[in-house]
Amino acid sequence: MQHWMAFQDPAKVKGQRLQRAVLVRVWGYVKGYRWAIVGFLATVVTGSLVALANPFIVKSLLNDAIPDGDRAKVNVLAGLLLAAAVVGGLLSLLGRWWSAKIGEGLIFDLRTQLYDHIQRMPLAFFTNSQTGSLTSRLSSDVVGAQRAVTGTLGSAVDQIVTVLTTITAMVVLDWRLTLLSLVVLPFFLAGSKRVGRRMRELTRESMGYNAAMSAQMTERFEVSGAQLVTLFGRQADEKRTFDERAGKVRDIGVRTAIYTRAFFLALNIVGTIGVAAVYWYGSQLVVGGELRIGDLVAMGLLVNRVYDPLIALTNLRVDVLTAFVSFERVFEVLDAPNPIVDAPGAVALTDPRGELQFDHVEFTYPAAASTTLASLVDGLVLSRQSAPVLHDVTFTARAGQLIALVGPSGAGKSTIASLLPRLYDVNGGAIRLDGRDVREITLDSLRGAIGVVSQDPYLFHDTVAKNLRYARPGATDQELERAARLARIHDVINALPEGYDTVVGDRGYRLSGGEKQRLAIARMLLKDPCVVILDEATSHLDSENEAAIQAALEDALAGRTAVVIAHRLSTITNADQILVIDGGRVVERGRHEELLAAGGLYADLYHTLVRDETSGSLPA
């Protein structure tokens, strides 16, 4: 597996791999469609041979049927022209079907693999990458790769076969005119390499700006982003930034259009010179009696048939170079290694009890430069260093115990909670569940045994029922209702316009903060985990709702190990063990009464909480 740093300069890497490695890799995807490729090639070759019939039919008309006054032969030849056109059209349609079948199937494989790879990446990858840039890889870049396969490569094969069969037919007619027609070939190819390189640069630059626009739209069109822009009155600045990026894409588009039009205009002029030369020299041969008029007309038709695909092939070479930029950008993400995967020999949890052990855990958040790609952050400078967050954190939670984590903001409480389901991996020490290092447990079974309710729970833009069933897709309506009643949210759901079929809106914006948290608790209860992590899960509830939810949680958490990050007294005082975190270290531990009597940091925090809750305000 290659190191992340190999992808910090995508242009450099791609310049080295475009010609061979990318093509070989694309072929690896295509191999699964061997028989479709055979069908496509057979159709293309047959279609090219049928298309060659027209010049030879015209030759027979001019050399034989018309001079001989043979009307029957004229009728037969005219019928053959019509038949060739119909058969050629049907073969063209069949070839396009084969090409689409191969291309669309390949892109399906590529898109699903890319989606699966991205959604399995560690949390650090998403925190350091722009969402819009990621979605751009799955949309515009995959579509660009699709064009490369279904259009560009399919047409390339068609044009190559056409050129080869046509030149063969020209040699059969007259080798001298064939050589003359090919004299201009170097002029077709001379500028191709330079144009391809320049077009590739323009395409990559345009994709970068498009990704930046996509990222800006994704972030600003979310409810939270739109609200932030509105509250700070930054609409004009946002428009200015978007206009600048869109203007760059516009300017690149204009330059690309002029550049390509001038290039192909020059190619058409060169092709016209070649055709004129063939007719001039061929006419001399006809006048001298060395060539018949039908042969010259047929040769003229074949010359046009050669030059058109030659121009197209030159264009296709440019298209391949630019279209493969899309493949490179997709492969760049696919090659990004995932450091959090199942270890060799990882075992699945069976009947987990929920006993937790943190054994001298050390942790530092990975630097952005080691967790994402430079091309996914819109040119932002990636940090390469991060300060240690946790130091020698050691504690044990027996099955069924409730552990409370308290401490100042930024002390490391949420970090401790995020290490248990392996959102990140520890840098030192070990975390064990039921005596086994979590890195030796399969991720699916580990995360299946852990339920998390965060401070700001995320809800999809979908119905209440589907948001709940995300925890257990096969849950019945009765099970949904039972979980909702335990979380004291059933009555709220019933009061919604469509009940459990009500769409909650983007990120659940149709619900209040407390309602979203109770819905998230119901979703966690539906999952039925043996370990529960509550990260400020009751911070948005008023006193009445908190009392109800605490009563529900007491029943719901019975028999489960719970790690609770809370600033509310009711959670802290009932804990079996309280860990006081400060500066990434466990500075105090014990039960409520013991820590209060010790008069340390916990006592100070507790008295602050008493004052805050007595005054009816949330703690700082």
Give me the mean pLDDT over the 148-173 stretch: 80
Mean pLDDT of all residues in 79-98: 90
Same domain flag for 330 and 461: no
Least confident of 70-84, 91-105, 150-164: 150-164
- What is the rounded average pLDDT for all residues in the chain? 80
Q: In CATH, what number is assigned to the domain containing residue 512?
A: 3.40.50.300
| 502 lies in some domain | yes
Each residue of 299-308: b (16+ CB within 10 Å) or e? bbbbbbbbbb
Query: What single-letter amino acid sits at 457?
Result: P
First vs last Cα of the chain: how many Å apart? Answer: 45
Which of the two residues, 481 and 303, has the higher pLDDT score?
Answer: 481
**For residue 135, what pLDDT is reported?**
78
- Write down the pLDDT at residue 445: 92
Q: What is the DSSP string of 599-620?
A: TSHHHHHHHHHHHHHHTT----
* Cα gap 534→405, rounded to integer Å: 10
pLDDT of amino acid 150: 67
pLDDT tens-digit map of 311-325? 667 666 666 776 677
Q: Report the distance separating Cα 557 and Cα 560, nearest Å.
A: 5
**pTM for this entry:** 0.73
Average pLDDT in the 255-264 region?
Answer: 79
Contact status, residue 601 vs residue 582, Cβ threshold 8 Å: yes
Of the chain, the percentage scoring pLDDT greater than 90 comes to 17
pLDDT tens column, 383-398: 566 788 999 999 999 9
Residue 3, pLDDT score: 32
Q: Residue 16: pLDDT above 50?
A: no
β strands within 508-601, DSSP E? 531-535, 561-565, 577-582, 585-590
Q: Judge whether 215 and 132 are in contact, CB under 8 Å.
A: yes
- Per-residue model confidence (pLDDT) at position 60: 86
Residue pair 563/531 in contact (Cβ under 8 Å)? The answer is yes
Q: Does residue 397 fall inside a structural domain?
A: no
| Residue 94: domain span | 4-334
pLDDT of residue 9: 31
Q: Of 37-46, 71-80, 185-194, 497-506, which range is least confident?
A: 185-194
Pick the most confident of 220-229, 302-311, 326-335, 606-615.
326-335
* Dihedral angle, C-alpha 127, 128, 133, 139, nearest 10 °: -50
Listed in sequence order, the residues at least 6 apart from 54 whose beta carbon sits closer than 8 Å to its beta carbon are 81, 84, 301
For residues 606 and 404, the answer to whether their CB atoms sit within 8 Å is no
Domain closes at, from 488, 511, 528: 528
Query: Residues 236, 91: one domain?
Result: yes
Output the CA torsion 589→590→591→597 (10° steps). -90
Query: What digits encode the pLDDT tens for the residues 279-299?
Result: 888 888 888 888 888 888 888
The answer to whether residue 231 is domain-embedded is: yes
Q: How confident is the model at residue 12 (pLDDT cuts 50, 70, 90)?
A: very low
Q: What gap in Å lies between CA 224 and CA 30, rounded to an integer?
A: 42
Structure tokens at 179: 């050589």
Q: Tell the residue number behind the tokens 């995967």, with chain if given.
A: 341
Instruction: Specify whether 12 is located in the same domain as 151.
Output: yes
Distance CA 404, CA 569 (A): 11
Residues in the chain: 620
Q: How far apart are CA 579 and CA 413, in angstroms?
A: 9
How far is residue 53's CA from residue 85's CA, in Å, rounded to a whole number? 10
- Which residues pair with residue 406 across a beta bridge? 580
pLDDT of residue 370: 75
pLDDT value at position 189? 64
One-letter identity of residue 31: K
Amino acid letter for position 518: R
CA-only gyration radius of the chain, Å: 35
Q: What's residue 169's pLDDT?
A: 87
Tokens of 531: 């370990």
User: pLDDT by residue (tens digit) across 406-431?
Assistant: 988 888 998 999 999 998 999 999 99
Is 545 a domain residue? no
Whether 324 and 470 share a structural domain:
no
pLDDT at 548 over 80: no
Q: Does any domain span residue 268?
A: yes
243/551: higher pLDDT: 243
100: confidence class by pLDDT, cuts 50, 70, 90: confident
Which amino acid is present at 23?
Answer: L
- What integer pLDDT is reported at residue 199 of this predicted model? 73
Q: What integer pLDDT is reported at residue 62 of this predicted model?
A: 86
Residue 546 domain-assigned (yes or no): no
| pLDDT tier at 82, thresholds 50, 70, 90 | very high
Pick 525 or 193 by higher pLDDT. 525
- The CA distance from 257 to 568, in Å, is 64
464 within domain boundaries: yes
CATH code, 161: 1.20.1560.10
Q: Of 277, 312, 334, which closes a domain?
A: 334
Give residue 542's pLDDT.
58
Query: Whole-angstrom Cα distance, residue 564 to residue 480?
Result: 24
Indicate whether 325 and 461 sit together in one domain: no
Q: Which pLDDT band, with edges at 50, 70 and 90, does 356 fall under? A: very high
**C-alpha–C-alpha distance, residues 395 and 320, integer Å:** 58
Q: Give mean pLDDT, residues 400-407.
A: 91
State the pairing for strand pair 561-565/388-397: unpaired
- pLDDT in the model for residue 549: 64
pLDDT band at 190 (very low <50, low <70, confident <90, very high): low
Q: For residue 620, what pLDDT is reported?
A: 36
Residues 6+ positions from 444 with CB-CB distance below 8 Å: 348
Amino acid at 29: Y
Counting the structural domains of the chain, the total is 2
Regarding beta strands 402-406 and 388-397, do their DSSP bridges make them parallel or antiparallel, or are they unpaired? unpaired
DSSP assignment of 137-196 equals IIIIIHHHHHIIIIIIIHHHHHHHHHHHHHHHHHHHH-HHHHHHHHTTHHHHHHTHHHHH
Q: For the stretch 223-235, what's the b/e string if a residue is b when 16 or more beta carbons lie within 10 angstroms of its beta carbon?
A: eeeeeebeeeeee
pLDDT at 316: 66
CB 99 within 8 A of CB 147: no
pLDDT over 70 (residue 452) = yes
pLDDT tier at 15, thresholds 50, 70, 90: very low
In a domain, residue 536? The reply is: no
Environment class of 432 (CB within 10 Å of its CB; exposed 0-12, middle 13-18, buried 19+): middle
Domain end marker among 303, 334, 365: 334
In the block, which residue shows the tokens 């990636």?
382
DSSP secondary structure string, 66-133? HHHT-HHHHHHHHHHHHHHHHHHHHHHHHHHHHHHHHHHHHHHHHHHHHHHHHHTS-HHHHHTS-HHH
Confidence at residue 545, expressed as pLDDT on a 0 to 100 scale:
61
Distance CA 225, CA 218 (A): 9
Element (H, E) at 389: strand 388-397
